[in-house]
Chains A and B, each alone.
Chain A
Amino acid sequence: MTSARPVRLGVVVFPGINTDGDTHHALETFPGVSAEYLWHKDTDLKGVQGIVIPGGFSYGDYLRCGAIARFSPIMQSIAEFAADGGLVMGICNGFQILIEAGLLPGGLIRNTGLKFVCRYVNLRVETTATPFTSACAPGELLRIVVKHNEGNYTVDPATFARMKAGDQIVLRYVNAAGERAEGANPNGALDDIAGVCNETRNVFGMMPHPENSVEAELAGGGAGRKLFQSMIDNVLHTAEVAR
């Protein structure tokens, strides 16, 4: 539920990230939420209660996407934050960085179309048992934009089996009717995977861009709100419990 109680969320800024401003703006459209930029050269998390690593082209994606960013000083602090159960969400390049940092399983390779793709996709919420989808209904469809060149999710068969057994597949690309179908998957991702979480469910990565889908009057629509709402609710809940 929306609450006016204060929540502080961090937005990590690497050089080349370009949706840091959008993510900051998106988070602050929620009452009570203040967003704090976290600079990649710092190690101080400024007391934030949850972290979003936004999308873009950290270090130009000149090496494998996210492969340089993971060595930034801030990443060590984020790894520790995650190990303590803190909520960390990676969007697009942020997802790639979390994978490179070993905080999420799998890999993100070049789209099968070999081109950057910016289009609307329909996402099906495959599990609501994560702190990032708890505000969604099971099987709910979210219409959100993808925009990436390397969003083709892949993972080795053994890990994939464990992820399925552990309910770690969070979002899948589907058609408008909510079914997996030809053409619904924009990048060739294994099993139409759009978003996954770690085993402990507190680290989540997705290729589509919910931060561009928080205001219904814009082209991106408002379907991304529920993901951030879930995260905010769970941060509040954790804070309640701690108190």
Chain B
Amino acid sequence: MSRRATLEAAIKLGLTAEEYEHICQIQDGEPTYVELAIYSLMWSEHCGYKHSRPILGRFPSSGPRILQGPGENAGIIDVGDGWAVAMKVESHNHPSAVEPFQGAATGVGGIVRDIFTMGARPCVSLDSLRFGELDEPRQRYLLDGVVGGIAHYGNCLGIPTVGGEIYFEDSYAGNCLVNAMSAGLLRTDQIVRAIASGIGNHVVLIGSKTGRDGIGGASVLASQEFDETLEEKRPSVQVGDPFTEKKLIEACLVLLHEHLVVSMQDLGAAGLTSSSSEMASKGMVGLDLHADRVPLREADMEPWEIMISESQERMLAIATDDQLPAVREVCERWDLDCTVIGEVTDSKMLRVYWHGARVADIPARRLADESPVVRTPSVKPAYIQDEPVAVTDVAYPPPEDLGAALTQLLAAPNIASKRWAYQQYDYIVQANTVQIPGSDAAVLRLKGTKRGIAFVNDCNGRHCYLDPYRGAKAAVAEAARNLSCAGALPVAVTDCLNFGNPEKGEIYWQFEQAVEGLAQACEALETPVVSGNVSFYNESFGKAIYPTPMVGMLGVFDDVSIHIDAAFQDEGDVIVVLGPHAAWMDGSEYQKVAYGKVEGRVPDVDLSLEAKLQARLREAIAAGLVKSAHDCAEGGLAVALAECCIASGTTGGAQYADPEVPRSGRSGRWLGAQVELGSVAATGGGAGAAGRPDLVLFGEAPSRVIVSVAPELLGPLQAVLGELEHRVIGRVTGAALGCTMERKELFTTPVSELHSAYESLPQRLA
């Protein structure tokens, strides 16, 4: 056996003294350096989930549609007619902060491999992104690089990037968030799980050669805070090769669908180490790997480097002796390397050999499943406020011009159209896209059926900062509401939990609270969590990001042709707001944009009301009673109304696409609206909030949706809504948005002006 490694080496690799002790016990003495390197990766936060595992069991994870819950490369949901969707989201925050283009590109590559490993053909990508404020040049550099990286990789693969979100908050300045979500389609009888089996079977490495890129990515990058050594971490970022990944998709789907391999696993974080130990552990077998047989980019690599390299576009497959020639043939057709590097054994040990000598011998199960569990005592942070903010005229002087306040909000980077970004993504390849980005939800048809599927990403980090429990609940509710606005039934969640350093009690408290909020909302809305990812240590110089439990959600249509979007359709249609009247200053975009403040306490979502509202809305859409539906989120009622007007200029596939030339809507022009908002007395939140028209317009609250309906269908719509709170507020008319309150005019603004503000992001980036 090779040289032994000391405690000092362990600490350099990011392990603690206790963990080193534990390793010595398992290994019955000092580990070899290769063994230690392997442990350091597998027991890192990123791979081992040591701080999150005890909490994540809280999530509901099963249901009649769920074919595969957490624990595999991706969750799988039955979507009807023998079809299933595999989906997962994963963070690539730390690499993207160091090298935005490659960091984001390889984030897409990694999540896509998780999908096709299950036997599914990747059919969509969504990307949830967060940066610091755009007036900082570095943030614009990060945004440009991340969006460019996603486009570079995703477009080349031919997977439509159909949605996502982009937010800008100072808390993300040192740690941008790049959460890459992917989903794929497969037949329900095509599911493949990453389990090694069959003593004597071959372990085959397929795809790119192994290099020194990404050494320690999971431990050095993803499991530590950032400090002044950020730039030095650049070599830990991998470099993506989408062309090879595209070939891998094609070759691996042939191997899986034609049953030419026993099982397959992608090489992600911790590379060969994690893929091999997880496959062995799940199959309760051992694997012997010959590191010297791995094709290399650099000839002088050492065995520990080979074992933990995170070189991209590599897959590990288990194949029988009989299957091997066919495997080689498929790989050759696609010009891919295919190398037998080991065999399945009955030892239950992960053994690594180097030119015949054994350099590592570790119980696979203990490596993969027994990483230490740490539960930090949680501490409620001092900044948390228990009451809504008092909206006094001193602290919050009322605006003089409400129309100007509206255009200011529409131009705010968090609200403004993200066309600049999604125009760089191919959102239409694969010929299934029904609703392109820029709407409440992305909608796709299921080719060969009447069915459809829909996807969203949602999280308001600011709300989660002010109250992680309520904010997380609201993220699930909003994701589901967005799907319901399109007409889709929400069915499952994949989540990406982005937090600061979990060794700190305040961060751990945020984490626990957010998980509880997500879990309750997922239970109430019947959307189990089927997969996900935790990203801790999103801190720079001790300053943490806003807690950001990002929710990716899948919705289904029995008949996709019923889908609708936010755009007002016809002059004279009646505008109805579903849900409560009250709106809050606390945590709103308005509070931030107009007053530069983030304070107070966000309202709690009433989950039973939310579930009922969404069910009634879907029923109305399926019955063809409403022509448009749009969720009220950032910017409140007024921004939502403005968005319905702006979207009206174009319809269907042309939506938002050609804003310079409004056309092809049924009316051939932008449609305005005239609405009466009623009494100001009912405004929610803290003292002083009542009596503020600006809060009725721009205040935020959960469970609100704007719909438009033909006048003759208002009665039938109200019959469906029943006792659900709703108000008729006005009509689609003219070419301006006009709002009155108790008959007093608040503002009237031409839709063309609203549109100019809404499309102003490119000017801010120039």
Residue ranges of A at the interface with B (Cβ–Cβ < 8 Å): 15-16, 18-19, 21-22, 25-26, 56-57, 59-62, 115-120, 122, 143, 145, 147, 175-177, 183, 209, 211-212, 214-215, 217-221
Task: Check B335 for interface membership: any CB of A closer than 8 A.
Answer: yes
Q: Give complex CA distance A215, B434 in Å.
A: 10
Interface string of B687-721 (1 = CB under 8 A from A): 00000000000000000000000000000000000
- Residues of chain B with a CB closer than 8 A to A22's CB: 429-431
Task: Check B158 for interface membership: any CB of A closer than 8 A.
Answer: yes
- Residues of chain B with a CB closer than 8 A to A212's CB: 428-429, 431
Contact B423 A221 (CB under 8 A): no
- Residues of chain B with a CB closer than 8 A to A115's CB: 148, 151, 424
Kindly report which residue of chain B lies nearest to residue A56, judged by CB atoms.
B158
Kindly report which residue of chain A lies nearest to residue B433, judged by CB atoms.
A219
Q: How far is the CB of B143 from chain A (nearest CB, A)?
A: 13
- Residues of chain B with a CB closer than 8 A to A221's CB: 652-654
Contact B158 A176 (CB under 8 A): no
Q: Give complex CA distance A58, B277 in Å.
A: 35
Interface string of B645-665 (1 = CB under 8 A from A): 000000011100110110110
Q: Please count the residue pairs between chain A and chain B whose beta carbons lie under 8 angstroms apart in the complex.
A: 113
Contact B431 A220 (CB under 8 A): yes
Contact A21 B246 (CB under 8 A): no
Among all A-B residue pairs, the 7 with the closest Cβ atoms:
A18-B158, A60-B243, A219-B653, A120-B657, A176-B661, A57-B156, A22-B431
Contact B156 A18 (CB under 8 A): yes
CB within 8 Å of A: which of B126-158? 148, 151-152, 155-158
Interface string of B422-442 (1 = CB under 8 A from A): 111111111111111000000
Contact B653 A119 (CB under 8 A): no
Q: How far is the CB of B173 from chain A (nearest CB, A)?
A: 24
Q: How far is the CB of B561 from chain A (nearest CB, A)?
A: 7
Interface string of B502-516 (1 = CB under 8 A from A): 000000000000000
Q: How far is the CB of B313 from chain A (nearest CB, A)?
A: 11
- Residues of chain B with a CB closer than 8 A to A16's CB: 156, 243, 246-247
Interface size class of B (residues with CB under 8 A): 35 or more
Do A118 and B425 form a contact, CB below 8 Å, given A16-B243, A16-B246? yes
Contact B423 A215 (CB under 8 A): no
Residue ranges of B at the interface with A (Cβ–Cβ < 8 Å): 148, 151-152, 155-158, 241-244, 246-247, 334-335, 422-436, 445, 447, 561, 652-654, 657-658, 660-661, 663-664
Contact B431 A25 (CB under 8 A): yes
Do A60 and B424 form a contact, CB below 8 Å, given A16-B156, A120-B653, A221-B652? no
Q: Give complex CA distance A25, B657 in Å.
A: 25
Contact A220 B660 (CB under 8 A): no
Contact B654 A60 (CB under 8 A): no
Do A62 and B243 form a contact, CB below 8 Å, given A118-B425, A218-B434, A220-B428? yes
Do A118 and B424 form a contact, CB below 8 Å, given A22-B430, A219-B436? yes
- Residues of chain B with a CB closer than 8 A to A120's CB: 653-654, 657-658
Q: Give complex CA distance A41, B425 in Å.
A: 30
A-B contact pairs, 28 of them (CB 8 A): A15-B335, A21-B430, A21-B431, A25-B431, A26-B431, A57-B242, A60-B156, A60-B244, A60-B246, A62-B243, A116-B155, A118-B425, A118-B426, A118-B428, A119-B657, A120-B653, A143-B664, A147-B155, A175-B661, A176-B658, A177-B661, A212-B431, A215-B431, A217-B561, A218-B434, A219-B435, A220-B653, A221-B653
- Residues of chain B with a CB closer than 8 A to A183's CB: 660
Known: A25-B447, A175-B660. 18 other contacts (CB 8 A): A16-B246, A18-B158, A22-B429, A26-B431, A115-B148, A116-B151, A116-B155, A118-B426, A118-B427, A119-B423, A145-B428, A175-B661, A176-B658, A177-B661, A209-B428, A218-B653, A220-B653, A221-B652
